[in-house]
Structure 1
Amino acid sequence: MSTLPTFFLSHGGGPWPWMRDQFGNAYDQLEASLRDLPRQAGGKPKALLVVTAHWEGRDFLLSSSARPPMIYDYGGFPPHTYQIQYPAPGSPELAQRVASLLGDRARLDPARGFDHGTFSAMYPAFPEADVPIVQLSLRHGLDPAEHLEIGRLLRPLRDEGVLIVGSGLSYHNLRAFNAVGAEASHVFDAWLRETMAEAPAERTARLLEWERAPAARMAHPREEHLLPLMVVVGAAEDAVAEVVYHEDRFMGALAVSSFKLG
């Protein structure tokens, strides 16, 4: 079995795949990139480990149910978006495997369901919902070095048929998720794409100091949507990165990107 790449995905806003009437073609580029994910990964993986920006804990938490429920962690959307079902199975076995790699830093959560950072991104990529998914949380404190280190511990999964996906957004300032935030999103996204193109050691060093990037705190007033990137970089630290999705006018004004490593 070949070594799988890792991905950081900008997952869009809310339950967008189920809101075509409202959004029109606003998500066409993102949807196309997500539909292409299995090909980019080299085929359908054995399982998915999704590092989600929408879950944090005192430990690194792992969803361990065989049949995860749904979590509609958004507000103000049409009634039908609170009935969405994405019936992908969980994998208690993979959750245990990840826990064994992370040691006493990790804890299983059999009640945790799929949040929209997972189901909105994975539905276009795997619409048949036939790939088992385990979610991994972030840890309180959002320390980039710690999340990079966790990624390094997860590296063996890439040789076991498990696709490691970080689901977040390269720009996430909900108070300026429009033309107000355009300049900051473009400046930060350019820095991020430049950083990801660096040699591995320089890339890691720059990411650890991400707060020094231009417009960093305007782009990420709180960094939970950026931290999944640290995990997937750690899991493929020596790999070359490439941009697999980029828009300059997302939601009319914003720059956003997704990356593949390996």
Structure 2
Amino acid sequence: MSQIVNTEQAHAWNGPEGVHWARRQDRWNAVNEGFNEPLLDAAALTGSHRTLDLGCGAGQTTRLAARRAPDGSATGLDLSGPMLAEARTRAASEGLTNVTFTQGDAQAHPFAPGAFDAAISRYGIMFFTDPEAAFRNIGRALRPGGRLAFVCPAEPALNDWVTALTALRAIVPLGDFDAPGRPGMFSLASPDRVRAVLTAAGFRGVTADRVEAYGAWGRGADDAAGFLLDTGPGRHALSQVDTTAAIHARRALTDRLRGHEAADGTVRLRSTSWLVTADRPVAAP
């Protein structure tokens, strides 16, 4: 593994959080895959593109990028050993030969200059300790004129899973989800901040379009509640209360999620995100 500067995130994603996501990858894909097509379309991939997938996790978007560019390649980069092991297994089982996965920190990884035509990310670029430095490093990895496209969450109040959890504050302690400027899920929730960071990192033509998708969080309200409470924020909140409060919280969350059950029982929650695109200048700085 190359140099790591984001040590706190590396510790988390190679520990319980990474194991959680690797084991539940199909469930997380069901939550987030509504953003796949918009993301890949925005990246404008062609048959010979060399694509870098940042924070690729277990590699669903990496594999999709590889399929869009059968004469090119797709490289997934992530801090998490557990998720990368799952990514490699899935790529092999699908017979993909133009996919590779690398464990590393995008903020400091020694990319070959101009090695990629496009860089993409589905929820993998909000955790940098120094976003400007990270995107500058990513920019160097793109050829002049290369495209950056990523999806990151919009403000917490526009995401149903957040509002469902925060409704439990009277029962369990929940921290603030909105921490602009700090590494975390909503660190780039402001499009003005996104534009400022990318422009300072040398990108041009920055756009940020709001997009929504309804993800499948579970088969029935109780199943979805259990899954939500098994996420990082949910586990942290429950670890601070006794069994009685934890049971109360799950019942309250289940009741709230019943209003989101579809006719087939699937709980669908809205996720609202920014679909961001930017280009490395042809005359690179």
Q: Please, what TM-score do these two structures have when normalized by structure 2?
A: 0.35
**TM-score, structure 1 length as denominator?**
0.37
Larger of the two Rg values belongs to structure: 2
Give the structure, 1 or 2, with the largest relative contact order (CA under 8 Å, sep 6 or more): 1
